[in-house]
C-alpha cells in the first residue's frame, strides 16, 4: 500500500477495479469465449471475429487493471472499451432491446467504476510523473 494513500482510498480504488473485473468477466470475455454471445455476433458487422476480438481486449484489460504498476492504464483501457460498447448500444447496431438492456446498464456501471478507478490510480501515482517513474512508490500494491 502506498503510505501516502488513506485506507479508504485504497479500499475504494480496489473496489472500483473489482467492479470492472466482475463486469468484464461476467458480461465480457466469458460469454464471448464460451459461445454465449451469439446474439451479439449476429448484430455486429463482422460477426464472431469481432466478438472474439472484443473478448480478447476485455481479457487484456482485466489483466492490466489488476497489476498495480499498470492499473491506471488498465482503467483507461476499460473506459475506452466501455465508451465503444455504449456507442454500439446507443447509435450502433446492438441497441438496448431485450437482453441488451441489461448489458447496456452493466456497461454504464462499468464505465463509472473504471472512471473512478482511473482517477484514484492517477491520484495514487502522484500524477503523470508518478505514472512514468519505474521505482515510484505508487507501483507497489
Query: Tens digits of per-residue pLDDT, 79-119?
Result: 999 999 999 999 999 999 998 999 999 999 999 999 999 99
pTM for this prediction: 0.86
Cell digits of residue 113: 467504476
Q: Is the pLDDT of residue 56 over 70?
A: yes
| 26-56 residues labelled b (16+ CB within 10 A) or e (exposed) | ebbbebbeeeebeebbebbeeeeeebbebbe
pLDDT computed for residue 32 by the predictor:
92
- Please give the sequence-ordered ranges of beta strands (E in DSSP) within 6-139, or none if there are none: none
pLDDT digits (tens, 9 = 90+) for 10-23: 999 999 999 999 99
Nearest by Cα to 44 from 109, 103, 92: 92
Average pLDDT of span 62-89? 96
CB 83 within 8 A of CB 110: no
Contact 94, 51 (CB under 8 A): no
Amino acid at each position: 500500500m502506498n503510505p501516502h494513500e488513506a485506507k479508504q482510498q485504497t479500499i475504494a480504488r480496489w473496489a472500483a477495479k473489482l467492479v470492472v473485473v466482475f463486469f468484464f468477466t461476467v458480461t465480457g470475455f466469458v460469454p464471448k469465449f464460451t459461445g454465449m454471445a451469439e446474439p451479439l455476433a449476429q448484430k455486429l458487422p463482422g460477426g464472431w471475429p469481432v466478438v472474439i476480438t472484443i473478448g480478447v481486449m476485455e481479457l487484456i484489460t482485466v489483466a492490466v487493471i489488476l497489476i498495480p504498476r499498470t492499473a491506471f492504464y488498465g482503467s483507461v483501457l476499460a473506459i475506452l472499451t466501455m465508451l465503444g460498447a455504449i456507442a454500439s448500444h446507443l447509435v450502433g447496431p446492438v441497441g438496448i432491446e431485450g437482453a441488451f438492456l441489461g448489458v447496456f446498464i452493466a456497461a454504464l456501471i462499468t464505465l463509472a467504476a473504471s472512471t473512478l478507478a482511473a482517477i484514484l490510480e492517477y491520484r495514487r501515482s502522484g500524477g503523470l510523473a508518478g505514472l512514468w517513474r519505474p521505482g515510484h512508490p505508487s507501483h507497489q500494491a
